[in-house]
Amino acid sequence: MADEQLIRATWQGATIAESGDTVVVEGNHYFPVASVNGEYLCESATTSVCPWKGTASYYTLEVGDFVNEDAAWFYPDPKPEAEEIRDRVAFWKGVEVGPA
């Protein structure tokens, strides 16, 4: 179910994402890809596998001279049970996510 409160993801003083339409799965807010500031994202070769969500891909965040390896992830082709997170991005590794 989508969260209707405005949620913001920040790191190193930059707003990485902001949306009133996040989906919370396992305590993580998944932001619509259109709400993520792509200028801070760099593709990563890292992947991981979740038994019920599928294979995750990652982005590294770059804000100024600061780099946060694999701090954002997404499921390009989620399993049917996780379809609600398709085209959405979540964050960790020190990225602050909470009410705007």
- One-letter-per-residue 3-state SS of the chain: CEECCCEEEEECCEEEEEECCEEEECCEEEEEHHHECHHHEEEEEEEEEECCCEEEEEEEEEECCEEEEEEEEECCCCCHHHHHHCCEEEECCCCEEEEC
- Quote the pTM value: 0.94
- Residues in the chain, pLDDT under 70: 1-3
| CA–CA distance, 44 with 51 (Å, rounded to integer) | 21
| CA–CA distance, 22 with 48 (Å, rounded to integer) | 22
Tally of domains within the chain: 1
Q: What is the CATH number of the domain that holds 21?
A: 2.170.150.40
Q: Would you state the pLDDT for residue 4?
A: 73
Q: Would you state the pLDDT for residue 2?
A: 54
* Range of the structural domain that residue 12 is part of: 2-99
Q: Would you state the pLDDT for residue 50?
A: 97
Residues 54/82, Cβ–Cβ less than 8 Å: yes
Q: Would you state the pLDDT for residue 43?
A: 97
